Amino acid sequence: MEPQVSNGPTSNTSNGPSSNNRNCPSPMQTGATTDDSKTNLIVNYLPQNMTQEEFRSLFGSIGEIESCKLVRDKITGQSLGYGFVNYIDPKDAEKAINTLNGLRLQTKTIK
């Protein structure tokens, strides 16, 4: 027997949106009660030799931090040059942007 070849459309295909459920809710379906967009910052262009403690200290000088993480390579432990800071108060996050954006640290200008 040879495989059957079809040149026309089959009834098993769909060209429209699918209704498969991949357990990935849209942002509108998550029902999040807190708005992290006003308190959670991504910080780019950090010096490679900056420590987690220095990172926390720098951004903690602006206001109370809920969490912060300096992102590192899982194998080498080397800083990847960016991190996240989540403030408790949105006003502190805004102050951090206004105060630290463009700050020159060693050979880097953080953004």
- Which range of residues forms the domain containing residue 96? 40-100
* 44 located within any domain: yes
Cα separation, 71 vs 51, whole angstroms: 10
The model carries a pTM of 0.66
Cα separation, 55 vs 41, whole angstroms: 13
Q: State mean pLDDT over 64-92.
A: 95
* 83 located within any domain: yes
Assigned token pair, 95:
């102050």
* 72 located within any domain: yes
**Model confidence band, residue 37 (pLDDT cutoffs 50, 70, 90):** confident
Question: Which range, of 11-15, 53-57, 64-68, 80-84, averages the lowest pLDDT?
Answer: 11-15
Place of tokens 């951090």: 96
Domain of 45, CATH number, reads 3.30.70.330
What is the maximal distance between C-alpha atoms in the chain? 75
The secondary element (H helix, E strand) that includes residue 30 is: none
Q: Specify the number of domains making up the chain.
A: 1
> Mean pLDDT score of the chain, rounded to an integer?
79
* 81 located within any domain: yes
Place of tokens 């708005």: 35
CA-based nearest residue to 50, from 1, 96, 108, 102: 108
**Is 107 or 31 the better-scoring residue by pLDDT?**
107
* 62 located within any domain: yes
Q: State mean pLDDT over 54-66.
A: 96
